[in-house]
Copies of this chain bind each other. A is one copy, B any other.
């Protein structure tokens, strides 16, 4: 199966969770919006098929959107989730919890509204980020530290840790020693051969100030 991934071409964002799964599995895929004319094609498909926001995936005749839904679909097909319904439900639950966590990361720099610039909500962002660093981040880290995870969820946790290190370097340096399982998972995941090759390639877009993980030193405490 040749997959078509549709996502903004200049950020990791939510699309990166799909890219990691496709790359780690050595899947055959095209990152359509990064090709000439791709953004126009993406916008036309969204309009025609009632898609709220990227990322979405074309797999044969199927168009699938919402990050966790795409991973749920791809998991067993890529060997990154069990085939059984019971096993898939567990991974999907964990994946949806990561989606909630990621949403809270986004809201550290956009607590008032996604349509406003960061500079227009900087004061509120400082307060929200302080709450995130002291309450929410440890809550999610505690939760995933104690959990058994596998498959595409491990790849998503790797990405969360990469992103959090980029956005909150000082906070993470203090927190990390308390999370040996997550740190080991991060390290082992990074060494998976196909993933390592991807991370070293130009296909991996660097973190930047337009994505979900952004480095604003004033939000890092």
CA distance A100 to B65 in the complex (A): 13
Q: State which residues 93-124 of A face B: CB under 8 Å.
A: 93, 96-97, 100, 103, 107, 111-116, 121, 124
Distance of A50 from chain B, by nearest CB (Å)? 5
Interface string of A127-149 (1 = CB under 8 A from B): 11001100110000001001110
Q: Is the CB of A116 within 8 A of B131?
A: yes
Q: State which residues 44-87 of A face B: CB under 8 Å.
A: 50-52, 61-62, 64-66, 68-69, 72-73, 86
Q: State which residues 175-206 of A face B: CB under 8 Å.
A: none
CA distance A135 to B92 in the complex (A): 30
Q: Is the CB of A73 within 8 A of B96?
A: no
Residues of A within 8 A of B (CB): 50-52, 61-62, 64-66, 68-69, 72-73, 86, 89, 92-93, 96-97, 100, 103, 107, 111-116, 121, 124, 127-128, 131-132, 135-136, 143, 146-148
Q: Taking A64-B93, A86-B62 as contacts, is the C-beta distance between A136 and B113 under 8 angstroms? A: yes
Closest to A47 in B: B146
CA distance A65 to B128 in the complex (A): 27
